[in-house]
Structure 1
Amino acid sequence: MRKITKKPEVLAPAGTLEKLKMAIHYGADAVYIGGNAYGLRSRAGNFSFDEMREGVAFAKKHNAKVYVASNMVTHEEDAEGAGDFFRTLRDIGINAVIVSDPALIEICATEAPGLPIHLSTQASATNYETLNFWHQEGLERVVLAREVGMDEIKEIRQKTDVEIEAFIHGAMCISYSGRCVLSNHMSARDANRGGCSQSCRWKYDLFEMPESGEHESLLEGDPVEAFSMSAVDMSMIHHIPDLVENGVDSLKIEGRMKSIHYVSTVSNVYRQAVDAYCNDPDHYEFKQEWEDELWKVAQRELSTGFYYGIPSEDQQLFGKRRKIPAYVFIGQVLAYDEETKMATIQQRNHFGVGDEVEFYGPGFTHLRQTIDSLWDENDAPIDRAAHAMMIVKTKVNAPVKPFDMMRKKK
């Protein structure tokens, strides 16, 4: 008989306040966000202090936690004001900060006592000695490097008491623990200070470089991304039992720059899988519908990364994609009238009469139907919801709820 010693948290990305609320509604136990400084996603919708306060209040209401990623590599000028920043986070009620640079760790520990610190994956923690070192320095949790395998996690868990957080879904950086200088060289944007231009995702060709004349491609025909440094995405949905049994405390989903469609869908799926296993491990069965759901928001192919061995060429992106995402997010339910069976929807992408759509919601609820009528917010009949964020109404075949989402096949 299998015994679960601890149910891991599902940790979701939240690039904006809207995504924070959506992730929690769809089952996340915790979210991680970025502030306006010290993070690695300068182009994400980073949070102001006021937005953090609102996010923390919302999370507490739903028994969830909020962590702030402050995981940049600092140069001499970058640490100015860090003490005030961390003290403000502590006073707001942030549950922990995620840090990689020892300088920021020292500043946080000395100038904002009481604010828990988690070691970022950028710090490349790959062995139990490293985890024990940081535990002795006062850190509560370590986010493992994405190069760590499952057998290594098992040994780490046996030889340390520090909490373990591990990435289980999302994009994989091609560089060791994300420490890369390609972007610095190619676009003068510092990847380790929040400015990565994702040079590894660019398409490359092979050219002959004559001393004079035109550069000519050495590839015949019209190759599709023949040369790439880009990895496929990670998905551990098939391996929840391994993660739980080997003592991973927090299952981390990548993607602070992804859409609310992505955040809600992936949080929903992993919530179902974790609950199903932890509630009855002896009778747990993987459900194919979980993986099918993930493919509705996948941007790239999926693999298990380094968990079960070194990735092969099949875990790199080149040539034509072997699977292509099939769904587009088109709306969010704002209200539902039981008497008229009418749903009020905020449009997020074009749809109209005759479209086959799917509603989904927290708890893995699904409703598929064809849109046979539409009205605008003034109750005038229309054929299409063609304007961004417009409010429309339609009859639905079964009850829906606020925060339910709506999508259709591309």
Structure 2
Amino acid sequence: MQKTALKRPEVLAPAGTLEKLKTAIHYGADAVYIGGDAYGLRSRAGNFSFEEMAEGVAFANEHKAKVYVAANMVTHEGNEKGAGDFFRTLRDIGISAVIVSDPALIEICATEAPGLPIHLSTQASATNYETLEFWREEGLERVVLAREVSMEELAEIRKNTSIQIEAFIHGAMCISYSGRCTLSNHMSMRDANRGGCSQSCRWKYELFDMPFAKEHRSLTENGEVTEEFSMSAVDMSMIEHIPDLVQNGVDSLKIEGRMKSIHYVSTVANVYKTAIDSYMADPENYVLKQEWVDELWKVAQRELSTGFYYHTPTENEQLFGPRRKIPVYQFIGEVLSYDESSGIATIRQRNHFSVGDEIEFYGPNFEHFHQNVMEMKNEDDESIDRAPNPMMIVTMPVAQVVKPGDMIRRKKPEVTK
């Protein structure tokens, strides 16, 4: 029996700003997802104007990449006003698809902006192939699975539907069902399902004894908040399970994080592109490299797990109590230019660094090297021993050839108690 050829999945990266869009594509993303000024779930992200979308689409087209727009809010009465014009404008700009959860917005897009592909958002909580088939028959091109789907369920879904499947493979997990949470509404009067989530699940909580008509009393030691009690989930990372995702026919591997930095976007897109390319080049002899795992930890903000893919999360997939020690790296700059004759790089500073620091350069295609900062100069060609000012331009000798867009990080000094 002839084996079915494996299909290379799309690496789909978040892009909260135009800079992040260009960075993600530069570092290997096949597609990015962004938000507009309306109908999305990240009101605090650097959402795109139509002009910025047009520039982003032009850049993506130049690099054979795609741009999707998230319009996945839950609409209350009146929220849908103007949606037809919004979707038509996206179509005319050249957006590759919109990501929608609300049936009202899906209907408006389908009827008023024909020709604009629609993807079902993870907010719609699609967890079985019958649901995917329903949306396929409604004309949708792709479904973003709920994060609660297991790998076993994913395999069954793929066997029973031809619609494109998109699945989250890295980033933050929501403690509520596929993000459909009202904690933020109750605790800060910000509607999570209309773009205002205040991440109440990430707050620190304490346990109290509250006897009737008596003053409440803390049940934790000395009344100190020790994070013994939490609703905060650890983040997801599927870097160690690329073969399972590809073999089970996932069409798009989605990275969470539209509000994350270009350091995060460049690192995570770079790692997953490298791993996927390695697997597709030789599936039979594919080997997970520890350096890929280590690289992801350099931008990790929380512990990492595989979410719901292999088991129902336990207390080990929640954040509370003493945390594991994680190597913490700091993004300190990006290369603007490099003079090969002199070996001098021009760098835009993003966080302070000093002469004597050991720094790491990295670029697309997983190119890395370390060196110490031996000397540097400011824009007036004056020697300086540190670069403390945000976005300042410095020059410094670099041991190897670097390119515009390469990033620089350093490991933070360990804090001793």
TM-score range for the pair, normalised by the shorter chain length = over 0.9
Aligned to 1:345: 347
- 1:306-321 counterparts in 2 under 5 A? 306-321=308-323
Partner of residue 20, structure 2: 19
Unaligned stretches of 5+ in structure 2?
Answer: 413-417
8 Å Cα contact 1:334/1:344 also seen in 2 = yes
Decide whether the 8 Å contact of 1:342 with 1:395 is kept in 2.
Answer: yes
Query: Quick one: which of 289, 311, 333 aligns to 2:291?
Result: 289
- SS at the partner of 1:28? coil
Matched, 1:358 2:360: yes
Which residue of 2 is the match for residue 35 of structure 1?
A: 36
Matches within 5 A, 1:239-388: 239-388=241-390
Equivalent-residue separation in structure 1 for 2:266 and 2:159 (angstroms): 34
> Aligned partners of 2:295, 2:326: CA distance in 1, in Å?
13
Letter in 1 for 2:259: M
Instruction: Tell me which amino acid in the other structure corresponds to 2:38.
Output: A
Q: CA deviation at 1:369?
A: 0.4
CA distance in 2, matches of 1:356, 1:333: 16
Determine if contact 1:2/1:282 at 8 Å carries over to the other structure.
no
Take 2:281 and 2:325, find their aligned partners in 1: how far apart are those partners? 33
Say which is worse superposed, 37-46 or 209-218, in terms of deviation. 209-218
Letter in 2 for 1:332: E
Please state how far the C-alpha of 1:2 moved relative to its aligned partner.
6.9
Contact 2:150–2:311 at 8 Å: present in 1 too? yes
What amino acid does structure 2 have at the position aligned with 1:209? Answer: M
- With normalisation by structure 1, the TM-score equals 0.98
- Corresponding residue for 2:118? 117
Cα displacement (A) at 1:4: 3.8
Between 3-12 and 281-290, report the one with greater CA deviation: 3-12
Which 10-residue stretch deviates more, 379-388 or 205-214?
205-214
Deviations 1:120-151 (A, max 9, x none): 00000000000000000000000000000111
The count of residues paired between Structure 1 and Structure 2 equals: 410
Offset at residue 271 of structure 1 (A): 0.3
- Deviation, 1:223, is 4.8
Query: What amino acid does structure 1 have at the position aligned with 2:301?
Result: Q
Distance in 2, Cα, partners of 1:278 & 1:376: 45
Secondary structure of the 2:365 match is coil
Flag the 1:325–1:102 CA change in 2: closer, same or farther, 3 A.
farther
Q: For each residue in 1:267-299, what CA deviation from the matched residue of structure 2 results, as whole angstroms up to 9, or x when unmatched?
A: 000000000001110110000000000000000
1-side partners of 2:374 and 2:409: how far apart?
16
Q: Which runs of 5+ in 1 are unaligned?
A: none
Kindly indicate whether the alpha-carbon contact (under 8 Å) linking 1:4 and 1:278 is maintained by their aligned counterparts in 2.
Answer: no
- Secondary structure of the corresponding residue to residue 221 of structure 2: coil
Q: CA deviation at 1:379?
A: 1.1
Query: 1:143 matched to which residue of 2?
Result: 144
Quote the Cα distance in structure 1 between the aligned partners of 2:190 and 2:5. Answer: 45
Q: Secondary structure at the match of 1:324?
A: coil
Partner of 2:204: 203
Q: Which amino acid aligns with 2:152?
A: D
How far apart in 2 are the matches of 1:140 and 1:242? 23
Percent identity between the two aligned chains? 75
CA deviation map 1:227-267 (0-9, x unaligned): 10011000000000000000000000000000000000000
